[in-house]
Structure 1
Amino acid sequence: MSDNTKKFDDQEYTISIMGKHIEITNPIRAYVEEKIGKIESLSTHIIDIKVSLDVQKLNHSVDIIMKFSHFKIKVHAITEDLYSSIDKAFGRLYTKLRKWKSRIQDHHAKGVSVTEMEVNVLEHAEHEIEEISQEIIDENNRAVEEAYALPKVIKQKRRPLKILTIEEAVMKMELSNDNFMVYRSEEEQALKVIYRRRDGSYGVMSPA
């Protein structure tokens, strides 16, 4: 793994290049950093860029996570050649930035309103498992043990909940490739969950 801090237009951000089943050589690092240099002009307020390289037999895969301001972009590419995979992954990153550049700029100009959302952290209740373990052993039924291993709330946290329009929510989903996101609707001031459907379209749910 290699990390370094880069400066662009008086901004500093971190570049992390990680290898799995592959050594990150100086030529590989230089090639990745050259690609990063070509996307800097498309985005401001970069926080960090993580590039993960993995080699599994003939498959050379590249994953990129780019964080900037209020956004996160994820891309993935896989080919039979490492440098081709790097080209393909950065090509997809470049395409996403170009596609959403004007809307991202509008989003930055507007500013992001946030509220707080309470998040419960769950943990398996081990003491409850112990209390019923003898019954489970007697019945010799592993499925029952798993059924009794119910989670419990061990602490609560508060996380920022962004207030977005439906267009902004879709943009964030497109950039991040996440499967779902919770946000507060700017139009209705209601809690919403946007999720990715199997066919690539999006669904939006809100509590009744």
Structure 2
Amino acid sequence: MQINLTGHHVEITQALRDYVQEKIGKIERHYEGVTSAHVILSVEKLRQKAEATLHVANNDLHADAIEEDMYAAIDVLADKIDRQIKKHKEKQTDHHRDEKVVTPS
């Protein structure tokens, strides 16, 4: 999975980059269909905002989180994206049983 990281009014340090790679990279454990992710970290006065858009097979997933700490915002964002990935994967799974036609003998 390719992760693009962008910062608005915030400098993307190596520590932030590694933290985002770690948190968003864990999502691949649940679903291998993720092709790329675009993460935007921004600061607006005292609010730290993290947004992510993931491109998965046949769909795009988007989530954002606003916290007082950037690392906390990334944690909340990862949890939200993780829930969306699980829901998307569940929708892709066929839960119907194979109905076999039984002929009476």
2:54 to 66, 71, 81: 66
Task: Give the AA of the match of 1:88.
Answer: V
1:54-203 matches, within 5 Å, as 54-106=42-94
Instruction: Give the distance between the partners of 1:45 and 1:96, measured in 2 at CA.
Output: 13
Aligned to 1:24: 12
Report SS of the residue matched to 1:96: helix
**Distance in 2 of aligned mates of 1:71 and 1:105:** 15
Distance verdict in 2 for CA 1:91–1:34, change over 3 Å: same
TM-score (norm 1): 0.43
Please report the RMSD computed on the Cα atoms of aligned residues, expressed in angstroms. Answer: 1.2
Amino acid at match of 2:46: L
Deviations 1:66-115 (A, max 9, x none): 00111110001001110010001111011112233221244xxxxxxxxx
How far apart, in 2, do the equivalents of 1:101 and 1:56 lie? 34
For residue 18 of structure 1, give the secondary structure of its aligned residue in structure 2: strand
Deviations 1:114-144 (A, max 9, x none): xxxxxxxxxxxxxxxxxxxxxxxxxxxxxxx
**2:39 paired residue number:** 51
Structure 1 counterpart of 2:21, from 7, 29, 33:
33
* Aligned residue pair count: 94
Identity %: 33
1:47 CA drift (Å): 1.8
Moved beyond 4 Å, runs of 4+ = none
CA distance in 2, matches of 1:73, 1:15: 14
- 5+ residue gaps, structure 2, are 95-105
Task: Name the one with the larger strand percent.
Answer: 1
Secondary structure of the corresponding residue to residue 12 of structure 2: coil
User: Which residue in 2 is equivalent to 1:110?
Assistant: none
SS state of the match for residue 22, structure 1? coil
> How many angstroms does 1:45 deviate by?
2.4
Note the C-alpha offset of 1:23: 0.7
Unaligned 5+ residue runs, structure 1?
1-12, 107-208
Higher RCO (C-alpha under 8 Å, 6+ residues apart): 2
TM-score scaled by length of structure 2: 0.83
Distance in 2 (alpha carbons) for counterparts of 1:91 and 1:104: 20
